[in-house]
Amino acid sequence: MKKILVRSGMRPIDSFSAEEILTKDRTGYNNGNLAYQYSIFRTLWKEDVELFSDGYFANPNLADEINETYDAYIIPLADAFREDFRWMLRAYTQLIKRLTIPVYVIGVGLRAPYEPKLGEDFIFDEDVKAFVSAVLEKSGQIGLRGEITSEYLTKLGFKEGVDHRVIGCPSLYTFGRELKIRSLDLHKNSPIAINASPVALETSIEFLNKVTAQYGNYNFIPQLYDELFLTYAGGPGVVSDISNYPTSIASKYYQEGKVKYFTSMQAWLDEMKRTSFSIGSRLHGNVTATIVGTPNISFVQDARMRELAAYHQLPHVTAEALTSFNNLEELLEKVDIHSAEKVQAANFDNYLDFLDYNKIDHIYKADKNRKDAPMDSFLKDVEFSKGIVPITACSKEEIFQRLAQVTEIVKEKAVIKVDLEINKREQQIRTLKQNVSNEQRKLQVAEQKIISTEAKNVERDNQLELSAQKLAKTTTELQQKKKEADYYKRTTERKAARMALKVADVFAKKN
């Protein structure tokens, strides 16, 4: 049996209560993570392959254990290329460098404004370079969420089509190659799902309030861990700069008791099947509706949503444009709720090609139109919570019970938070020590080069001095020999002259 480790807080077949998730966050702070992780598990879990969750532990010291236990490491990510995720990227980079098994990144994106300034540098550029380089040493190619992220990595020096390719978000491929969105036939009592983020624009919340005023059978579906705490215990409030965002139980949605928080992806999917329409600024809130065929519209306000909405042709409108619509009906006239169906097959085939390129086995090898999956049989035997309703909708007895539970939860949570912070600081200290060690090694190498160069210079100077001495000696000898030669030359000339005079005298006497 092959074992694969997946970056996630829990497996789709795991069922945790609200109390358990409040004590130890298993969603990565945002339920949207459950969506694409669910898809990864369903696509890769086979009869001879089992997948496990890493619990979001990016600890380099676990490298040996991971190498011994698992055959591969799958890292699905959201908008991980961002400033507040730098420390996690660094931890994963160190971990990946120590791994000997394949490592695959299936979906990652850039967090940036709607109009990203890719010509400028981001503070996390070097961290992204190091992370991507480490992954590419363990796999063939990285899968990206959209074209904006592709342009960003290309700017950093990585080659499109070689080092990376756009695959969109795996969550859209949860149930295979086909999407079939139901026709929309809204009436006054139609069940509506609305979603929003604390960083949403005020125009988004204002429009949602228009929708809920017209369609009273709604549920607000929050996604953040802090919102689970608010829903379960009534506080503390959620932080938001948006004046009309539901930050406390005094807000309209909580006061009306029309809030549902899901602690499992399966329960969330089941709710979307029962829902007639989904709308809001939470991309995965609407993706969850999309993959079960529920009509939906997303409000797009940043680069991460923009590139995904564009690639998958998700029904959407910019948040700024909402002011031009008086009601939902006017918006529906401008948006094609079936648009995602048109590109699903081609996108899905590209996704499978990406998996095959990286030699990642999957359930669609023999039949890319397959509908069932081995993981489905496991899910049938699991009982999931149907969703956490707000404390404002609870009886007195349940309110007292929740408040008693939350006291213990806060204590345990504090301990976990301290342990996590210690681990984070220790990781930062190890990184600093490693950096210092690397610099020291570089300095030692430089010093050795200097010493070696100085020794060579001394040796060269000695050789030059010796050569100069030999040259001086040779010059002196040559000068001495020249003197001797001149002496012998003059002597010879004098002897020759005397001899010539003698011969001349002899001939003179004979005459």
How many CB atoms neighbour CB 111 within 10 A?
A: 19
Question: Is the Cβ–Cβ distance between 204 and 196 less than 8 Å?
Answer: yes
Cis ω on the peptide bond leading into residue 236 (within 30° of 0)? yes
Tokens of 299: 């409000």
Work out the average pLDDT over 136-158: 98
pLDDT digits (tens, 9 = 90+) for 47-79: 999 999 999 999 999 999 999 999 999 999 999
Following CA atoms 390, 395, 399, 402 in sequence, which dihedral angle do they give, to the nearest 10 degrees? -70
Residue 502 pLDDT > 70? no
What percentage of the chain's residues is helix, strand, coil (to nearest 5)?
A: 55, 10, 35
> Residue 294: which of 195, 412, 360 has the closest Cα?
195
The reported pLDDT for the residue numbered 243 is 87
Helix (H) or strand (E) holding 405: helix 396-510
Q: d(Cα 424, Cα 431) in Å, to the nearest integer? A: 11
> How is residue 320 annotated by DSSP?
G
Q: Which residues contact 378 (CB under 8 A, 6 or more apart)?
A: 13
Q: Which residues pair with 51 in a beta bridge?
A: 4
The reported pLDDT for the residue numbered 489 is 67
Work out the average pLDDT over 409-422: 82
pLDDT digits (tens, 9 = 90+) for 281-291: 999 999 999 99
Question: Is the Cβ–Cβ distance between 4 and 49 less than 8 Å?
Answer: yes
Q: Give the 3-state secondary structure of residue 313.
A: coil
> Residue 360: which of 105, 150, 99 has the closest Cα?
105
The reported pLDDT for the residue numbered 433 is 85
Following CA atoms 346, 351, 353, 359 in sequence, which dihedral angle do they give, to the nearest 10 degrees? -170
Q: d(Cα 227, Cα 38) in Å, to the nearest integer? A: 21
pLDDT digits (tens, 9 = 90+) for 5-22: 999 999 999 999 999 999
In residues, how long is the chain? Answer: 511
The chain-wide mean pLDDT, for the chain, equals 93
Q: d(Cα 277, Cα 185) in Å, to the nearest integer? A: 9
The reported pLDDT for the residue numbered 64 is 98
Tokens of 467: 């050569």
Amino acid at 219: N
The reported pLDDT for the residue numbered 201 is 94
Residue 474 pLDDT > 90? no
Question: Is the Cβ–Cβ distance between 289 and 337 less than 8 Å?
Answer: no
- Residue 165 has, within 13 A of its CA and on its CB side, a CA count of 15
Cα Rg for the chain, rounded, in angstroms? 38
The reported pLDDT for the residue numbered 95 is 98
Give just the sign of the alpha carbon dihedral 319, 120, 86, 108. Answer: positive
Q: d(Cα 467, Cα 179) in Å, to the nearest integer? A: 87
Q: d(Cα 34, Cα 14) in Å, to the nearest integer? A: 12
Cα angle for residues 459, 462, 466 (degrees, 5° grid)? 140
- The widest CA-to-CA distance across the chain, in whole angstroms, is 167
Work out the average pLDDT over 118-132: 97
Instruction: Give per-residue burial for 307-320: e unless 16+ CB within 10 Å, then b.
Output: bbbebbbbbbbebe
Phi-psi region of 133 (alpha: psi -120 to 50; beta: other; left: phi over 0): alpha
> Residue 277: which of 230, 202, 214, 348 has the closest Cα?
214
The reported pLDDT for the residue numbered 253 is 97
Distances (CA, A) of 52 to 40, 286, 347: 11, 27, 27
pLDDT digits (tens, 9 = 90+) for 201-244: 999 999 999 999 999 999 999 999 999 999 999 999 999 999 89
Question: Is the Cβ–Cβ distance between 332 and 192 less than 8 Å?
Answer: no
Tokens of 95: 């971990």
Percent over 90 (pLDDT), the chain: 80
Backbone angles phi, psi at 290, to 5 degrees: -55, -50
pLDDT digits (tens, 9 = 90+) for 359-414: 999 999 999 999 999 999 999 999 999 999 999 999 999 999 999 999 999 888 78
Percent over 70 (pLDDT), the chain: 95
The reported pLDDT for the residue numbered 304 is 96
The reported pLDDT for the residue numbered 505 is 64
Distances (CA, A) of 70 to 91, 180, 252: 19, 37, 48
Going by pLDDT thresholds of 50, 70 and 90, the confidence category of residue 337 is very high
